[in-house]
Structure 1
Amino acid sequence: MTDKNEFDVADLRREYTRGGLRRHDLTADPLDLFERWLKQACEAQLADPTAMCVATVDETGQPFQRIVLLKHYDRQGLVFYTNLGSRKALQIAHNPKVSLLFPWHMLDRQVSFLGEAERLSTFEVMKYFNSRPKDSQIGAWVSQQSSRISARGILESKFLELKEKFRQGDVPLPSFWGGYRVSIHSAEFWQGGEHRLHDRFIYQREGDAWKIDRLAP
């Protein structure tokens, strides 16, 4: 682009000086290191430390990305919830392979996971849904996620209608709302370094163990 009004981003840069990552800092299981970093992101009071970018691919091979919130993690995988008619859900149904990325910029850190998503059981979904604030439960009913709408007022009117409908009772679980657990087969930890000499380590599953390698920045 040569437009004289163009905002030139080429010289926007800084040094990454907030720490390093060495092999002795690593854990045998990537989820243990992830948990340590997640706790540090929370202690640093980062905005939305559980926000992660979920990447999926449609039937033509076109990648899509969006930010969702991590709601649980354990040795079985990482969990998030969504509308089952959403674009991401339809793409996962076609191809369950996904990528997750936690961008903790203020700590000069990124964590990325590769894995496969599978639907959660109705029991697991119900347990989480019942723990949500009532307005969030109603919000799940309002939005047919990723569908086209003509105006925001449609959503607001529907929300008020359902809020009155469920005013005195429990909000039932929508049949079109659920969750996914992403089982992990690869995890990469990135720590920014001076002079662009970043520290990168990748974990790859080999049977019941993890193989760890350092990657060039």
Structure 2
Amino acid sequence: MNAAELALPSQSAGDAFVVLRRDSGDVLLAEGDYRVAMPYGSTLKPFLHAIAGDRAPALEPRGVDEWACGAPLAKMDLRTALLRSCNGYFIDWAAKDPSIVRLGEYGPALVALGLSRAPAEITETIGLRSALTVSPLALARAYRLLAERSVETVEVLEANAREGTLSGLKASAQLAGIATKTGTVRDSASRPQLGWIVAVSEELVAVMVRAGEQPRDFAGELVEGLARVETRRPATAP
């Protein structure tokens, strides 16, 4: 993340890990606060990619913090913005097309799955303002729906460990071919309050949340967690 995603105070949000079978939605593993609704950082940005079609523009970066998104580019397209999780791109895109704020066909589905309400402004959609919450289990179910409906978006996220927010890590090679999206919820001093990683493989959908950490700090733990569930039988969430 490049600009702080400001969190509302939460006494209940903490570590969580939940893994679903991608084909059936069966819960294979559920640990910690996986049912607790929490601010979600940038994890809904892929749903903006999924609804974009040919509407998403190439935008010229501006000299503001929200556009501090890696190596300078003359213009940034949606794919790059998603992999860099560039808040400035999504803010400026919404200024040109406010209809994206409510996430199109995915908005009602996300609310039905557990998003506290539909976003009212782009800073809520992209988690820069943490007025909304979702549980790790609900987000995993939402990504299962995304994977079913938007193959192109999943294909973009498969590049994240190679050229996006999880690149250049010891765990990056082990995440090759797995679609991932990170999110970081920060306080007013830009300290990480919650880190999120969503992962979608051919067989699994997983969400890991760690309190007080950034996603890059626990990517290796995600790899270990995925390995733990490879041979588990489906179980029903309690």
TM range (shorter): under 0.3
Q: Which has the higher contact order (CA 8 A, sep 6+)?
A: 2
Would you tell me which structure has more strand in proportion to its own residues?
1
Instruction: Please report the TM-score for the alignment, with normalisation by the length of structure 1.
Output: 0.24
Would you tell me which structure has more helix in proportion to its own residues?
2
